[in-house]
């Protein structure tokens, strides 16, 4: 999986803050199975938000990418579900 640089930077900061773990700047991150599932959920939420901002609202790609990363951390599961339904309806 690949992630936006800003999202990776934020996750690494959270690891440092909550778990006292820091990773080498250019090191590889290996996830456990449960970590992979969480990462996939986060990535899906991020991609839905980014698509909605860019394709539906017309936000420029670079801005949509950064905003999606920020929003993903705050948005409810219900709102993500509604965005998903709206995207499927409008974009197929």
Is residue 53 within 8 A of residue 68, CB to CB? The reply is: yes
Residue 15 CA to residue 80 CA, distance in Å, equals 24
- The reported pTM is 0.70
Residues 6+ apart with CB under 8 A from 43: 1, 3
Q: Which domain holds residue 49?
A: 5-91
CATH number, domain at 59? 1.10.60.10
Is residue 48 within 8 A of residue 84, CB to CB? The reply is: yes
Number of domains in the chain: 1
pLDDT digits (tens, 9 = 90+) for 71-83: 988 999 999 999 9
- Sequential DSSP letters for 18-74: HH-----TT------HHHHHHHHHHHHHHHHHHHIIIIIT---HHHHHHHHHHHHTT
| Per-residue pLDDT at 35 | 74
| Per-residue pLDDT at 71 | 93
pLDDT digits (tens, 9 = 90+) for 3-59: 556 666 666 666 666 566 555 666 666 767 777 787 788 889 999 999 999 999 999
Task: Identify the residue with better confidence: 84 or 69.
Answer: 84
| Per-residue pLDDT at 21 | 59
| Per-residue pLDDT at 87 | 94
């Amino acid at each position: 999986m690949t992630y936006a640089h800003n999202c990776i930077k934020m996750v690494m900061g959270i690891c440092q803050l909550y778990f006292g773990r820091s990773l080498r700047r250019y090191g590889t991150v290996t996830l456990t199975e449960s970590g992979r599932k969480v990462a996939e959920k986060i990535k899906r939420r991020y991609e839905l938000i980014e698509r909605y901002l860019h394709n539906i609202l017309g936000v420029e790609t670079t801005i949509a990418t950064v905003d999606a990363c920020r929003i993903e951390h705050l948005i409810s599961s219900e709102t993500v579900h509604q965005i998903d339904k709206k995207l499927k309806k409008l974009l197929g």
